[in-house]
A and B are shown apart, each in its own frame.
Chain A
């Protein structure tokens, strides 16, 4: 076998091995998307009921709460960025990071100081590499987040907003995550978690025509709101974590599918080249033999003379 043919054969073998791996990763990601979507659906009843309750207290009483009232001049804001622990998901992480950076730039332009909180090793690595300050970070659960994880993330954020701004607290909390629109579309979005604008929440709880009844609060409206709002934040973070996980798996699936397709194309073109090289080798051998016989025939013909 000629040297060139051997090189082609070796490359085909290595690309085939890569293709097998990407194919397997694609299938794993596909099954995980379904699982993650199921978890998003399972968490929906709790989120809807909680939103209803928050709307009920917010509109049904004149309670003022630090978590629903906007500071007149907000000077510090917290940004929570949700990324994944592992890459191989196309532009998933860079899109989320880019969205967070745009949001940060906007907040800074509004004259606010920004604290960054990060979930996921990828986002953390991005910030550490650029030596930017990260207030707190979490990792290790982005593939399958549980409610306890969401609680862990929510605790320092709620603490920060309850603290006075002068003592290192924040006035606003923003969250940046990747919304799962469909298997093919995932978009990085940012939204403000706190202070809560009750009008927005009311809009979210779909049935707009519904008139909320006058609730009897047990023990009191303030206490109920006090207990409700942290839960509401946790539930929003939980939902964002789940959507981000589903998006990550969908992005991985798509990236791995195109990797598999590309590997297939590469194998086709490499085998064509290998075939051409083999043919060229054969042609050369034939012409060498023909040339050799012709030379021999010439030589013998010459000796006859």
Chain B
């Protein structure tokens, strides 16, 4: 059996996803970071961006995460985010509309949020 790590992806008001994984890739403020089982204890600040979780049964879970933290210790990884959505929860049309609207309003943060959502969907 390949080594696994336990992942908890939690948003402020709910637990979004939890399970076993072999690799987690997330975007921190200083660049993308990949965490595999046995990584050294880590605590980092996340940027808004897609998080990719390779589950132990070979599947891939992609989530759009808007700010938050990544912490890893004892083979347990937790991703804390104020807002987190799994890629299959994202309403593509709505995100596209929000993206266009944000572009025309020149609302940079809303544009980035919508962009992250769309990228999370397309990465899936």
Contact = CB atoms under 8 A, between A and B. Distances in A.
Interface of A: 39, 42-43, 45-46, 49-50, 52-53, 56-57, 146-147, 151, 212-219, 223-224, 227-228, 231, 234-235, 238
19 contacts: A42-B13, A42-B15, A43-B12, A46-B13, A49-B71, A52-B78, A53-B43, A56-B71, A147-B12, A213-B73, A213-B74, A215-B71, A218-B28, A218-B45, A223-B45, A224-B43, A224-B44, A231-B68, A238-B12
B8 A49 contact: yes
Given A46-B80, A213-B41, 4 more contacts: A39-B13, A53-B43, A147-B12, A217-B43
B99 to A, nearest CB: 21
Contacts of B14: 42-43
B71 A52 contact: yes
B13 A214 contact: no
Contacts of A217: 42-44
Contacts of B95: none
B109 to A, nearest CB: 14
B13 A219 contact: no
Contacts, number: 86
A147 B10 CA distance: 13
Of the candidates A46, A213, A231, the one having the most CB atoms from chain B within 10 angstroms of its own CB is A46
Interface residues of B, number: 26
Given A42-B15, A46-B12, A219-B28, A227 B43 contact: no
Contact of B41 (A45, A50, A214, A219): A214
Contacts of A56: 43, 71, 73
A224 B14 CA distance: 23
B29 A219 contact: yes
A151 B70 CA distance: 20
B43 A215 contact: yes
Interface of B: 8, 10-15, 28-30, 33, 40-45, 68-71, 73-74, 78, 80, 82
B30 to A, nearest CB: 5
Of the candidates B10, B12, B73, the one having the most CB atoms from chain A within 10 angstroms of its own CB is B12
A39 B45 CA distance: 26
Contacts of B43: 53, 56-57, 215-218, 224
Contacts of A216: 40-43
B2 to A, nearest CB: 23
Nearest to A227: B45
Given A53-B69, A219-B28, A147 B44 contact: no
Given A53-B69, A219-B28, A227-B69, A43 B13 contact: yes
Contacts of B82: 147, 151, 231, 234
B75 to A, nearest CB: 11
Given A42-B13, A42-B14, A46-B11, A219 B44 contact: yes
B13 A218 contact: no
Of the candidates B13, B14, B73, the one having the most CB atoms from chain A within 10 angstroms of its own CB is B13
**Closest A-B pairs by Cβ, 5 of them:** A218-B44, A213-B41, A147-B12, A215-B43, A45-B10
A227 B30 CA distance: 14
